[in-house]
């Protein structure tokens, strides 16, 4: 197959067409169609993995067609291990979200059909954004992606969903606009240097003077920092997470926000190595602040969803820390962290979503004693929590530790601060576990029902993956190493040598 | 006397016209002030025509007159319409559209 | 200013005299326009300025324009203005008190600044050559030369102006002309209607003002055969103006006639 | 090295069993405990097999490794999922699986009436697996997995009855305190990697001589922090007392015999680090000495039998930590004390459990009294443990504790006097509070109310107690006869190569001295607690008050960590809302305000509009005017 | 004896076709019975626009500076702008064809019995069609005119009909007439500025043609005071037409008061025409004095963008909001003007299309949302529209997103190309301002989307009328163009690359 990635992008869209043909009233058929489409996409993504050569450095499965030739813009896609794993994360999580949130689509402002259309369109875009090797294409999807999410939050969420969605959108678009300026800037530079291209590989070969690099870097970085989100650009996240449905939150934090950190590696690092080195200490500082700040605020949250959101801010701090440590452990760890965080956040949001749905309140104070009432659900939430606190044996530990180990040699003090974050992580997870799952069964919780088979089926693969990758991360980590070494050589950095060896 | 004086006169009349537009309230007077501005421009054209030694300025001036005539027709028609519906030709009374 | 003057060249003395007499008057007239309470006065002042300008045109070798200025501008356009002024009430006078907050102060400042800067700027200009004059062009005659330019170089604009004229005409029609909605009612229809009406009291038609009354002035209502006044006999315009006498005083004293 | 071995099953079996029991749910209720016990026993069997296999080998061949999976490999960081069984770890394997199996058996009966017994056994199996991974790991990172695994198991077991808020809190407290230690472990590993480029024990050991002393001290200090967290050492000791919220078998297994000793294991395992850094060693002995006194003092004031024992555990581990800081020979003695302590303390805890079992879960010793009559077996087994911990010859404690006191004195100089003195004082206090426990519980007048019907525990409960009692009696002698353990461990800790410092006192003197203080302590307790009120007296000395309050450790934590932490959290939450998000909202507000102002410009008057145009033009003209100046 | 001037009618044919159709329309008004007029007028207008379009396509590759004796320049950009104007005008005409939006009797006093009876009799003011055609002709001429006289005439030809048509609304006629008055007075005012500027340009260079002015810059030994005065005053006239701050103030009032189809037509086509002329004047006439005017226009561009975006935030009327939006977009196009490069020109041309169709679409939808008294323009009452009519709401949101420059809409490509051109020409500051303004602008576009879809629906009399077939076609065209050009802008850009040049 020649156009694996394009087919992969199009499959969800075929699902959209199929949905379009489905009668609006037949909710069940609509759901089945959507699940089928997402599963088909999953299969196709495995085909992509099958055709992927782990040892090959650079982009694979590439396709390139002229798109807007006036600006040398191409529809160019291709994957390396980083993007492929993120695509895989996407294709795995989408069906899970569908199955887990079987009824999410029903009490929205729009019809269930619209929900699945938006979701599938979002899937296409998420695949596309990771597959894009043309900066313009990336940007286009990066921005366009926000629209379906906006409607998903505002159309199907809870509480002050509209305001939250607007805030999310404005924040992201603001960042995106800054990035647009930078995208244009780098294109102009390429034009001036006689190339005139948006191709990432070509662009990374440009020679850009330091001050220009700095500005362009900032343009990209702020967009990604808002997306990721990094302190102090984070305030959109808790609201969005609080308002969105569990499935939307899962995709939003699990995948969409990864575009931010993914973009940092793919664009900030490779396009502007000089600026990266200039700004790295500052960004590391922000990352550490994010880690601690996110964790402390997570402790202080009263709403379970915004608590999860703040934990994510903390985790994104770790990812950023790893990326800008500019060591192979740091970057590999960060990329692996992205995958793990995707799964662990998914688990957290989905389980929290079930809890909230059953209880009718997302206030932690309203919960309590769930362990007795709904043991399976409680366990799922607990394991998800353990994954969030990076318990060794779960995959997030591997990545978190890699990040710390990778950053210590460059930024020991920052790393020490970051490491204290693991205590805070224990606190925020266990506090909510204690309040929600343990203790007396609070009134209002007595009649909650435990997970049904469908829900169990949805959460099982996530937990299985978390455990499996914790003990055997090699299938993911090994390809990522190859990609990491490519990135490192593009920036021109090498790992520090152990001191005692000298 | 030098020709520049005509330009000063033109500028002065133009300014007076502009001020008239700003301070007068009767729509017709306002419009007359616009006509004054056009005339000021015409004077500049004619002066420049003489200065530059070609007739283009005069031609322009001529066209201005024609155009102004058309404008007057349309403008007065509009003013009359307004007057008929509001019994007032004050431009200040026509201030429903705001903010 | 000096610089510009040197380069622009000097004009002949008579022109200077003309200028220094008329130009201040024109400016004064302009300022007068700003302060005239009645629109008509403004219009007349404007007409005066236009005529002044016509003189200047002629003085500057623009004979044709000077004539056109008087004929078209002053003659036609200004008359149109006056006509409309008549239409909407020639007596109406503007109050000159300013109602918009800050408008006047700002306006005056802006005007002084604007005019001052403009004049100061013009004073700084250099032209790079002396005034060339139009003698060469006007050899054939000013009108002929203009015509030549008009029908060769600017013929396209000239053609397009026709569109403008049509637009103007069309516009005036749209805004002023009432389309007939029903077919016009003829005399015949009117009298038919009178007789077919519910009462025959109006069948004979309305009397003119003053009929049978003690006065035959237009503001005196006619008296009906029974001696009561007929208010409908007065022009509606007078009624609207309130220029109608009370019809009561014209009523006949009806005496009781005893019947045998 | 031998290729075919069964190390992986040691971990896999209990792990699998735990997973199975948890996943199957209620289906496994009927036989879950049996499976778990069976699995535990089989791990003991494997351990025993491996032990004998090891004994049959000699020299460097004794240590074996098993490579299981390639775990993490990024850049120069290569960590294999490999297991290492050497002389040190086999001790732990046997202790863990042995005591573990006994406690499984005990629990079958002890937990009989708990509807979640299956889950309890699953946790126990999980613990066994994690603990074995901890001791079998061949690198610090793998050890970390087990390290946190036991933490998790401990958390789950402490919070086994988590419907009780206090218990849930206790579980959380334990985990968080452990996590603080984990920061140390993390940093130690990270520093080690930056220094040596590897995190395997062998690699670090090989690199240690070349590393800078600052780095080694840092690693050592961080490892100590880790050990302090896990082993409830000062200043992270406060969780252990609360951890008694868990079912008593758990206290016996995890919070007495095995998990809490992991810190001792870690330091011993890292002997090459501590050997190379005297500063790190100094820190270790300070922590050990403080904790042993600290725990002992707390123990004197506790009325809750389990808490008294927990304080004792803390104190005893203090001894071990102290020993590990005393140089090569100390490691062996620390392990020796660890093993003997494993027997007698587990036995005593089970005894306490038995008492509680018979007394309807009453834990207040002031409501006991004279129980020896009603539960003779318990009394006897507990008595053996008591004698062992007091260090009465020939009970196990005598062999191990005396060695430590002796070694402490042998540290030389003032250090020797201080440490030795502390250890001796600790012994005296230990005698006091243990005697107190025994007197309050088994001797004297009965103080329980009429509702209680004390009775002896069933076979499945007393059998393990009995076995452990036997261990309490014999283990010391067996392990130390001919310095068996010291020699056994010699390849790991280099114990034989280094001679201790100048002896301050002859061993016999120390032993006599120790016996003397023990007698004094015990005598004092007997005199003081001949009669005792069933309610704790309130007119007590400030020292007692302090001891009852755990020497204000919780108050200290609350004042120094928790309150400021909560304050910080609240402040940050407010800051986030008001300042950061406020700034964002402020932008919106500003825009709105400007917008409203802009809107008012649009006042509807055409003259104003014209004025604006004129002003605009004026600005342009002014610009030109200025430009052409 | 003069030789007859050679006008090259083939090249002027598109304009002549429109003018001819306009004349025909006037004749129709005079001689055809009322019943037939409306349909006939629609037919004539549409056919004329199509015919002119076709004729333009036929001559698209021709260039000439001598057509109309040098009064106009037939070049790629000129033809392109004309094509754009015709395309936009076509859509505009489809709205105007719904004569229900226009007063039955313009001369009747609002609220009078005469008006009522006109409405009852089904009268229509079908003069809008010839007026529209005249305006279109003026718009087509404006950007290709090369001398100041033709420019001025064209300016008036396009303006006068618009002044008139602004006052022809069927409902809220007082407002409509007021709009006409304001538009007219301010328009005439700005014309005076334009003319005054033209005089000084002539004074500086001795020529009225753009090329002559450009040559004057080279040859004249004088200082440039006259030139600068000329540029400034001429710009004021042009900036007024495009609605740039501070010459914008008519925009909201007129947009609000005028009949919505006219507003749409005016917003889309006038902007293209005026900017087309502006581009030509600055690119051809003032190219060599760019360092004098670039800072000024840049400043105005920034002020325009920022003011438009900020002022729009608190607007409560949808038409006013769109007016401020158009001001903001004028600022963006000004950035392209300042770029002063082929790419800038291409970007501007593309922007005309993307903005024009979105604007037309948006105003088209405004015509559909009504209650018994006519269009509802109060945004608060649009709240919850999405529930009532998801299709209409979606389309409107699409246009808002396109205005906001969300990728995959034409608006984004427009912004992108403008920014690119600006960046390329070194005006990075403008790009930064543009980007920041876009963010502010997004604020209110998205608020509208939010309100439409997620606002509380008020159970009042709001209805979405079933659009007439022509309106439906028009809105569909706008939607399709907005999406198509967003997804595959090469459709336009490929041709722009060959066409975006001005003849000098």
Q: Are D526 and D564 contained in the same domain? A: no
pLDDT class of D52 with cuts at 50, 70, 90 = confident
D75–A481 C-beta distance less than 8 A: yes
Considering the domain boundaries, does residue D157 fall inside one?
Answer: no
Per-residue model confidence as pLDDT tens digits over D524-563:
888 888 777 767 777 777 777 777 777 777 777 777 778 8
Give the other-Cβ count within 10 Å of D34's Cβ.
13
- pLDDT tens for residues E219-262? 766 778 889 999 999 999 999 999 998 899 899 999 999 999 99
Q: Give the pLDDT of residue A502.
A: 44
Q: Is the pLDDT of residue D504 over 70?
A: no
Distances, alpha carbon D554 to alpha carbons D246, D283, D326, E66, E183, in Å: 19, 23, 30, 97, 79
- For residue A90, pLDDT beyond 90: yes
Share of chain D above pLDDT 90, in %: 5
Decide which of E9 and E418 is more confident: E418
Give this complex's ipTM: 0.89
SS3 state at A225: helix
pLDDT of E7 reads 80
Q: Do the Cβ atoms of D169 and A434 come within 8 Å? A: yes
Spatial CA neighbour of D405 closest among D322, D519, D293, D499? D322
Residue E327 has pLDDT above 90, yes or no: yes
Q: Is the pLDDT of residue A1 over 80?
A: no
CB A241 within 8 A of CB A153: no
Minimum-distance CB partner of C151 among E5, E12, E229: E5
Q: What is the pLDDT of residue D498?
A: 47
Final residue belonging to a domain, choices D541, D566, D583: D541
Q: Is A66 helix (H, G, I), strand (E, B) or coil?
A: strand
Better-scored residue on pLDDT, E457 or D323: D323
Query: Which of the other chains make 3 or more beta carbon contacts under 8 angstroms with chain C?
Result: B, D, E
Q: Is the dihedral of CA E290, E293, E299, E303 positive or negative?
A: negative
Pick from D179, D70, D174: nearest CA to A390: D179
CB E326 within 8 A of CB E359: yes
Rama region for E449: left / alpha / beta (φ>0; ψ in -120 to 50; rest): alpha
Nearest partner of D72 among B51, A397, C219, E293, judged by Cα: A397
pLDDT band at D2 (very low <50, low <70, confident <90, very high): very low
CA distance E134 to C42: 33
The per-residue pLDDT for D57 is 82
User: Is it the case that residue C257 has pLDDT exceeding 70?
Assistant: no
User: Residues of D with CB below 8 A from E225's CB?
Assistant: 624, 628
Find the CB nearest B3 among C11, C145, C164.
Answer: C11
Q: How far is A160 from chain E (nearest CA, A)?
A: 11
- Asked if residue D519 and residue D599 are part of one domain, the reply reads no
CB neighbour list of residue A126: distance below 8 Å, 6 or more residues apart: A87, A90, A145, A251, A255, A256, A259
The whole-number average pLDDT for the span A455-466 is 91
Instruction: Evaluate if residue D169 carries a pLDDT over 90.
Output: no
Over range A472-476, report the average pLDDT. Answer: 89
Q: Is the pLDDT of residue D451 over 80?
A: no
| pLDDT score for D1 | 43
Note whether E181 and B27 are within 8 A (CB): yes
- D610 within some domain: yes
Distance from CA of B85 to the nearest CA of C (A): 12
Query: Of E229, E243, E351, E342, whose CA–CA distance to E287 is shortest?
Result: E342
Residues 262-321 of E with CB under 8 A from D: 292, 296, 307, 310-315
CB contact under 8 A, C56 and B8: no
> CA nearest E424: which of E504, E345, E328?
E345
Q: In DSSP terms, which residues pair with A77 in a beta bridge?
A: A63, A132
Alpha-carbon torsion, ordered E254, E256, E257, E262, to 10 deg:
80
Among residues D509, D541, D573, which one ends one of the domains? Answer: D541
Closest residue in E to D605 (Cα–Cα): E182
For residues D334 and D313, what is the distance between their CA atoms, to the nearest angstrom? 14
Peptide bond into A229 cis (omega under 30): yes
The distance of A290 to chain E (nearest Cα, Å) reads 25
User: In 3-state terms, what secondary structure has residue E55?
Assistant: helix
Residue D241 belongs to a domain: no
d(CA D384, CA D470): 8
Q: What is the residue whose two structure tokens read 């001949």?
A: D530
pLDDT per residue over D552-594, tens digit each?
A: 777 777 777 788 888 888 888 888 888 888 888 888 889 889 9
Strands, sheet with E369-371, edge to edge from the N-terminal-most edge strand = E374-375, E369-371, E463-464
| Residue E384 φ/ψ region, left for φ over 0, alpha for ψ in the -120 to 50 degree band, beta for the rest | left
Task: Please judge whether B18 and D599 are an interchain contact, meaning their C-beta atoms are less than 8 angstroms apart.
Answer: no
Closest listed residue to residue D246, CA positions, set D164, D179, D180: D164
Do D464 and D416 share a domain, yes or no? yes
Residue A36 has pLDDT above 90, yes or no: yes
Domain boundaries of chain A, sorted by first residue: 4-501
Cα distances (Å, whole numbers) of residue D363 to D372, D404, D434, D518: 16, 32, 16, 26
pTM: 0.90
Among candidate residues D498, D515, D541, the one where a domain is terminated: D541
Distance from A185 to chain E by nearest Cα, in Å? Answer: 7
Q: How far is B16 from chain C (nearest CA, A)?
A: 6
Q: DSSP H helical segments within A389-491, as ranges?
A: 395-408, 412-436, 453-471, 474-491
Task: Tally the domains of chain D.
Answer: 2
Q: Whole-number mean pLDDT of chain D?
A: 84
Contact D397, D485 (CB under 8 A): no
pLDDT at position D373: 81
A457 contacts: CB under 8 Å, gap ≥ 6: A99
Interface of A with E (CB under 8 A): 66-71, 109-110, 139-144, 146-147, 151, 154-155, 161-162, 165-166, 169-170, 173-174, 177-178, 180-181, 184-185, 187-188, 191
**Which of A54-68, A102-116, A328-342, D468-482 has the weakest average pLDDT?**
D468-482
Check pLDDT > 60 for residue D333: yes
User: pLDDT band for position C11 (50/70/90)?
Assistant: low
The pLDDT of residue C183 is 67
- Find the helix or strand (DSSP H, E) in which D69 lies: strand D64-74
Sign of the alpha-carbon torsion through D58, D59, D60, D66: positive
Q: How many CB atoms lie within 10 A of CB C149?
A: 21
Spell out the domains of chain C, with CATH numbers in brackets: 8-92 (1.20.120.1200), 206-248 (no CATH)
Which range, of D249-263, E46-60, E100-114, averages the lowest pLDDT?
Answer: E100-114
Q: Are A265 and A324 in contact (CB under 8 A)?
A: no
Residues D294/D433, Cβ–Cβ less than 8 Å: no
Is residue D334 situated within a structural domain?
A: yes
Instruction: Indicate yes or no: CB of C106 within 8 angstroms of CB of D615.
Output: yes
Task: For residue D214, count CB atoms less than 10 angstroms from its CB and return exposed for 0-12, middle for 13-18, buried for 19 or more.
Answer: exposed
Rounded-to-integer distance, Cα E275 and Cα E356, Å = 12
Neighbours of C183 (CB within 10 A): 7
Considering only CA atoms, which of A490, A317, A306, A310 is closest in space to residue A419?
Answer: A317
The model's pLDDT over A380-422, given as tens digits with 9 standing for 90+, comes to 999 999 998 888 888 889 999 999 999 998 899 999 999 988 8
The tens digit of pLDDT for each residue in C76-103 reads 888 888 888 888 776 667 777 777 788 8
**Token pair listed for D75:** 């850049």
Chains that touch B (3 or more CB pairs under 8 A): C, D, E
Provide the CB-side half-sphere exposure for B19 (13 A, CA): 25
Q: What are the chain D neighbours of A498 within 8 Å (beta carbons)? A: 76, 193-198, 207
Q: Which of D360-374, E120-134, E403-417 has the lowest mean pLDDT?
A: D360-374
- Among residues of chain E, what percentage have pLDDT more than 70? 98
Q: What residue numbers bound the domain in which D432 lies?
A: 277-541
pLDDT interval class at C8 (50, 70, 90):
low
Q: Reduce the DSSP state of residue D74 to 3 states and report it.
A: strand
What would the pLDDT profile of E12-54 be if each residue is shown by its tens digit? 899 999 999 999 999 998 888 888 888 899 999 999 999 999 9
Q: Span A139-143, mean pLDDT?
A: 92
Q: State yes or no: pLDDT of E56 exceeds 50.
A: yes
3 state SS of A440: coil
| Residue C254 confidence (pLDDT) above 60 | no
Beta strands in D75-197 (DSSP E): 77-85
Mean pLDDT of chain E: 89
C71 pLDDT above the threshold of 50: yes
Q: Based on the domain organization, do D533 and D597 belong to the same domain?
A: no
pLDDT band at E396 (very low <50, low <70, confident <90, very high): very high
Q: Is A71 buried (19+), middle (13-18) or exposed (0-12) by CB count in 10 A?
A: buried
- For residues D504 and D611, membership in a common domain is answered with no
Phi, psi dihedrals of residue D68, rounded to the nearest 5°: -100, -60
Chain B contacts of E252, Cβ < 8 Å? 97
CB contact under 8 A, D620 and E315: no
| pLDDT for B96 beyond 90 | no
Check CB contact under 8 Å for E406 and A144.
yes
Question: Could you report how far apart the first and last alpha carbons of chain E are, in Å?
Answer: 31
Token pair of D393 as six digits: 């010859």
Quick one: D427 and D353 in the same domain? yes
- What tens digit of pLDDT does each residue of D53-87 get? 888 887 777 888 888 888 888 888 888 888 888 88
Highest-pLDDT range among A389-398, D458-467, D600-609, E82-91:
E82-91
Question: Which 34-63 residues of chain B touch chain E by CB within 8 A?
Answer: 34, 37-38, 40-42, 44-45, 47-49, 51-54, 56-57, 59-60, 63
All partners of chain D with 3 or more CB pairs under 8 angstroms: A, B, C, E
More confident residue, D455 or A388: A388
Alpha carbon E68 to its chain centroid, in Å, reads: 25
Estimate the share of chain A in helix, then strand, then coil, as percent rounded to the nearest 5: 75, 5, 20
Query: Angle at the Cα of D239 (from D233 to D245), degrees rounded to 5?
Result: 135
Is the Cβ–Cβ distance between E199 and E191 less than 8 Å? Answer: no
Q: At D162, list the tokens.
A: 């988590």
Q: Residue D300 falls within a domain, yes or no? A: yes
Q: Helices marked H in D159-212 — which ranges? A: 165-196, 201-207
- Contact across the interface for C174 and E22, Cβ inside 8 Å: no
Best C163, C168, C170 residue to mutate vs chain E (most E CBs within 10 Å): C163
Q: What's the rounded mean pLDDT across residues D92-105? A: 89
């Amino acid at each position: 197959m020649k156009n694996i990635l394009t087919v992969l992008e199009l499959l969800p869209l075929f699902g959209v067409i199929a949905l379009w043909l489905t009668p609006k009233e037949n909710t069940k058929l609509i759901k089945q169609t959507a699940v089928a489409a997402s599963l088909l996409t999953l299969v196709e993504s495995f085909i992509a993995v099958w055709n992927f050569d782990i040892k090959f450095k650079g982009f694979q499965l590439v396709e390139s067609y002229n798109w807007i030739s006036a600006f040398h813009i191409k529809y160019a896609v291709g994957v390396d291990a980083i993007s492929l794993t993120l695509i895989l994360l996407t294709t795995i999580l989408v069906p899970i979200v569908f199955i887990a949130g079987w009824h999410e689509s029903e009490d929205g402002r729009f019809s269930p059909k619209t929900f699945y259309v938006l979701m599938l369109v979002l899937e296409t875009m998420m695949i596309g954004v990771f597959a894009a090797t043309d900066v313009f294409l990336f940007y286009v999807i990066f921005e366009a992606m926000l629209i379906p999410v906006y409607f998903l939050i505002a159309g199907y969420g809870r509480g002050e969903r509209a305001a939250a969605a607007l805030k999310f959108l404005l924040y992201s678009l603001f960042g995106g606009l800054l990035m647009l300026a930078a995208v244009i800037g780098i294109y102009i530079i390429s034009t001036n240097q006689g190339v005139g291209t948006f191709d990432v590989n070509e662009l990374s070969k440009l020679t850009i003077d330091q001050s220009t690099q700095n500005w362009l870097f900032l343009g990209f970085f702020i967009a990604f920092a808002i997306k990721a989100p990094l302190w102090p650009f984070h305030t959109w996240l808790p609201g969005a997470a609080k308002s969105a449905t569990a499935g939307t939150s899962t995709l939003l934090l699990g995948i969409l926000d990864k575009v931010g950190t993914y973009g940092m590696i793919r664009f900030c690092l490779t396009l502007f190595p000089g600026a990266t080195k200039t700004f790295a200490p500052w960004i590391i500082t922000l990352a550490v602040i994010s880690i601690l700040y996110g964790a402390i605020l997570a402790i202080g949250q009263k709403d379970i969803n915004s608590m999860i959101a703040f934990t994510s801010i903390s985790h994104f701090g770790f990812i950023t820390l790893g990326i800008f440590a500019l060591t192979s452990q740091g970057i590999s760890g960060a990329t692996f962290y992205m995958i793990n965080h995707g799964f662990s956040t998914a688990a957290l949001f989905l389980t929290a979503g079930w809890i909230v749905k059953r209880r009718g309140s997302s206030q932690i104070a309203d919960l309590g004693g769930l362990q007795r009432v709904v043991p399976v659900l409680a366990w799922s939430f607990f394991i998800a929590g353990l994954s969030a606190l990076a318990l060794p044996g779960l995959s997030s530990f591997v990545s978190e530790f890699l990040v710390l180990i990778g950053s210590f040699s460059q930024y020991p003090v920052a790393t020490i601060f970051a490491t204290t974050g693991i205590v805070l992580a224990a606190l925020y997870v266990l506090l909510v576990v204690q309040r929600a799952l343990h203790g007396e069964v609070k009134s209002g919780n007595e009649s909650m029902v435990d997970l049904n088979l469908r829900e169990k089926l949805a959460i099982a693969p996530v937990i299985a993956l978390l455990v499996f990758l914790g003990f055997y991360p090699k299938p993911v980590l090994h390809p990522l190493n190859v990609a990491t070494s490519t990135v490192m050589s593009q920036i021109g950095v090498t790992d520090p040598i152990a001191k005692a060896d000298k | 006397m030098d020709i520049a004086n005509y330009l000063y006169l033109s500028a002065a009349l133009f300014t007076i016209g502009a001020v008239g537009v700003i301070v007068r309230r009767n729509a017709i007077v306002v419009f007359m002030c616009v006509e004054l501005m056009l005339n000021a421009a015409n004077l500049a054209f004619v002066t420049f025509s003489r200065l530059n030694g070609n007739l283009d300025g005069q031609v322009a001036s001529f066209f201005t007159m024609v155009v102004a005539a058309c404008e007057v027709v349309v403008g007065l028609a509009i003013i009359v319409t307004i007057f008929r519906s509001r019994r007032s030709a004050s431009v200040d009374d026509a201030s429903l559209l705001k903010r | 200013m000096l610089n510009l003057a040197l380069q622009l060249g000097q004009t002949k003395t008579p022109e200077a005299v003309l200028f220094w007499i008329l130009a201040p008057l024109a400016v004064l007239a302009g300022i007068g326009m700003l302060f005239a309470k009645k629109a008509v006065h403004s219009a007349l002042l404007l007409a005066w300025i236009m005529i002044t300008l016509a003189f200047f045109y002629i003085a500057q070798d623009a004979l044709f324009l000077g004539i056109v200025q008087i004929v078209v501008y002053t003659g036609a356009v200004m008359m149109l203005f006056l006509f409309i002024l008549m239409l909407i009430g020639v007596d109406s006078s503007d109050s000159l008190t300013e109602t918009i907050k800050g408008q006047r102060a700002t306006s005056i400042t802006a005007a002084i600044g604007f005019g001052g800067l403009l004049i100061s700027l013009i004073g700084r200009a250099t032209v790079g050559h002396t005034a060339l004059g139009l003698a060469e062009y006007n050899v054939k005659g000013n009108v002929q030369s203009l015509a030549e330019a008009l029908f060769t170089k600017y013929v396209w604009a000239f053609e397009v102006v026709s569109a403008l004229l049509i637009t103007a005409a069309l516009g005036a029609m749209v805004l002023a002309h009432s389309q007939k909605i029903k077919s016009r009612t003829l005399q015949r229809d009117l009298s038919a209607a009178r007789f077919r009406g519910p009462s025959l009291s109006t069948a004979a038609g309305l009397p003119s003002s003053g009929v049978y009354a003690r006065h035959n002035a237009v503001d005196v209502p006619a008296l009906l055969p029974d001696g009561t006044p007929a208010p409908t006999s007065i022009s509606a315009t007078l009624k609207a103006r309130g220029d109608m006498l009370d019809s009561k005083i014209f009523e006949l004293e009806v005496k009781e006639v005893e019947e045998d | 090295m031998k290729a075919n071995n069964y190390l992986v099953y040691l971990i896999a079996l209990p792990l699998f069993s735990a997973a199975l029991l948890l996943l199957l749910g209620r289906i496994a209720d009927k036989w879950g405990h049996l499976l778990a016990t069976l699995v535990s026993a089989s791990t003991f069997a494997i351990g025993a097999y491996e032990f004998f296999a090891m004994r049959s080998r000699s020299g460097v061949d004794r240590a074996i490794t098993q490579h299981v999976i390639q775990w993490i490999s990024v850049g120069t960081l290569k960590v294999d999922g490999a297991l290492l069984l050497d002389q040190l770890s086999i001790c732990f394997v046997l202790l863990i699986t042995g005591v573990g199996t006994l406690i499984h058996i005990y629990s079958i009966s002890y937990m009989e009436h708990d509807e979640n017994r299956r889950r309890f056994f699953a946790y126990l199996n999980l613990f066994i697996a994690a603990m074995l991974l901890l001791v079998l790991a061949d690198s610090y990172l793998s050890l970390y997995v087990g390290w946190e695994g036991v933490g998790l198991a401990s958390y789950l077991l402490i919070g086994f009855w988590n419907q009780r808020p206090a218990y849930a809190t206790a579980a959380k407290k334990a985990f968080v305190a452990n996590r603080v230690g984990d920061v140390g472990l993390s940093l130690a590993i990270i520093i080690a990697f930056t220094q040596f480029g590897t995190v395997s024990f062998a690699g670090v050991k090989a690199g240690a001589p070349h590393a800078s002393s600052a780095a080694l001290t840092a690693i050592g200090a961080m490892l100590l922090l880790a050990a302090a967290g896990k082993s409830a050492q000062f200043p992270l000791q406060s969780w252990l007392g609360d951890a008694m919220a868990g079912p008593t078998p758990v206290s016996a297994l995890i919070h007495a015999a095995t998990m809490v000793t992991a810190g001792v294991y870690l330091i011993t395992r890292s002997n090459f680090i501590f050997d190379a850094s005297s500063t790190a060693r100094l820190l270790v002995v300070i922590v050990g000495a403080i904790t042993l006194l600290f725990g002992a003092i707390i123990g004197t004031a506790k009325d809750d039998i389990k808490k008294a024992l927990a304080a004792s555990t803390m104190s005893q581990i203090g001894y071990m930590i102290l020993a590990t800081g005393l140089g090569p020979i100390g490691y062996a003695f620390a392990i020796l004390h660890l093993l003997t302590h494993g027997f007698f303390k587990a036995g005593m805890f089970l005894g306490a459990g038995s008492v509680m079992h018979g007394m309807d879960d009453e834990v207040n010793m002031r409501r006991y009294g004279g129980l020896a009559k009603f539960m003779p077996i318990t009394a006897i087994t507990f008595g053996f443990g008591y004698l062992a911990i007091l260090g009465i010859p020939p009970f196990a404690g005598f062999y191990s504790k005396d060695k430590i006191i002796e070694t402490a004195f042998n540290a030389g100089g003032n250090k020797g006097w201080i440490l030795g003195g502390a250890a001796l004082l600790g012994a005296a206090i230990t005698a006091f509070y243990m005697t107190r426990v025994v007197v309050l519980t088994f001797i004297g007048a009965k103080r329980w109310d009429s509702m209680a019907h004390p009775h002896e525990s069933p076979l499945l409960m007393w059998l393990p107690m009995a076995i452990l009692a036997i261990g309490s009696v014999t283990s010391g002698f067996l392990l130390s006869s001919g310095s068996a353990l010291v020699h056994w461990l010699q390849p790991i800790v280099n114990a034989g190569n280094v001679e201790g410092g100048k002896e301050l006192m002859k061993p016999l003197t120390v032993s006599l001295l120790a016996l003397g203080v023990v007698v004094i302590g015990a005598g004092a307790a007997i005199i003081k607690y001949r009669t005792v009120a069933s309610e704790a007296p309130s007119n007590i000395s400030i020292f007692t008050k302090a001891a009852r309050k755990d020497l204000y450790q919780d108050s200290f934590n609350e004042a120094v960590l928790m309150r400021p932490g909560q304050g910080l959290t609240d402040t940050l939450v407010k800051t986030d809302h008001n300042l950061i998000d406020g700034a964002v909202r402020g932008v919106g507000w500003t825009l709105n305000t400007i917008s409203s102002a802009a809107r008012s410009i649009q006042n509807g008057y055409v003259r104003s509009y014209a004025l604006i145009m004129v002003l605009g033009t004026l600005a342009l003209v002014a610009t030109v005017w200025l430009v052409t100046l | 004896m003069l030789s007859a001037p050679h006008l090259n009618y083939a090249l002027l044919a598109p304009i002549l076709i429109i003018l001819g159709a306009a004349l025909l329309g006037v004749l129709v008004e005079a001689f055809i019975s009322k019943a037939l007029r409306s349909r006939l007028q629609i037919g004539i207008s549409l056919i004329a626009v199509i015919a002119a379009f076709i004729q333009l396509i036929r001559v698209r590759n021709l260039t000439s500076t001598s057509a109309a004796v040098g009064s106009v320049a037939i070049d790629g950009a000129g033809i392109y702008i004309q094509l754009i104007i015709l395309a936009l005008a076509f859509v505009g005409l489809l709205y105007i064809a719904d004569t229900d939006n226009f007063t039955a009797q313009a001369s009747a006093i609002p609220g009078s019995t005469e008006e009522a009876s006109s409405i009852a009799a089904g009268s229509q003011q079908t003069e809008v069609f010839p007026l529209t055609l005249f305006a279109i002709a003026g718009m087509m001429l404006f950007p290709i005119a090369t001398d100041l006289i033709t420019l001025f005439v064209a300016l008036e030809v396009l303006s006068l009909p618009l002044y008139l048509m602004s006052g022809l609304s069927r409902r809220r006629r007082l407002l409509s007439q007021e709009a006409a008055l304001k538009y007219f007075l301010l328009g005439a005012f700005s014309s005076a500025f334009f003319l005054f500027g033209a005089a000084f340009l002539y004074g500086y260079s001795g020529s009225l043609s753009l090329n002559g002015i450009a040559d004057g810059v080279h040859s004249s030994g004088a200082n440039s005071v006259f030139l600068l005065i000329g540029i400034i005053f001429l710009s004021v006239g042009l900036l007024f037409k495009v609605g740039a701050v501070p010459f914008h103030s008519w925009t909201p009032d007129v947009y609000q008061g005028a009949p919505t189809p006219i507003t749409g037509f005016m917003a889309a086509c006038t902007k293209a025409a005026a900017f087309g002329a502006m581009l030509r004047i600055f690119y051809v006439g003032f190219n060599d004095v760019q360092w004098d005017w670039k800072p000024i226009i840049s400043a105005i561009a920034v002020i325009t963008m920022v003011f438009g975006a900020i002022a729009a935030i608190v607007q409560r009327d949808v038409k006013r909001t769109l007016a401020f939006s158009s001001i903001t977009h004028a600022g963006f196009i000004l950035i392209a003007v300042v770029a002063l490069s082929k790419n800038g020109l291409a970007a501007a041309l593309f922007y005309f299309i993307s903005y024009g169709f979105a604007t037309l679409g948006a105003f088209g939808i405004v015509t559909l949302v009504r209650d018994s008294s006519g269009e509802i323009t109060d945004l608060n009452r649009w709240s919850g529209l999405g529930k009532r009519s998801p299709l209409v709401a979606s389309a409107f949101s699409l246009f808002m997103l396109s205005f906001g420059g969300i990728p995959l809409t034409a608006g984004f490509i427009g912004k992108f190309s403008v920014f690119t051109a600006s960046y390329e020409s070194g005006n990075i500051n403008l790009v930064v301002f543009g980007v920041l303004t876009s963010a502010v602008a997004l604020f209110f576009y998205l608020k509208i989307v939010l309100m439409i879809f997620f606002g509380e629906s008020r159970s009042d009399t709001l209805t979405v009328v079933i659009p007439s077939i022509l309106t439906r076609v028009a809105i569909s065209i706008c939607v399709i163009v907005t999406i198509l050009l967003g997804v595959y802008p090469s459709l336009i850009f490929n041709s722009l690359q060959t066409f975006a040049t001005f003849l000098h």
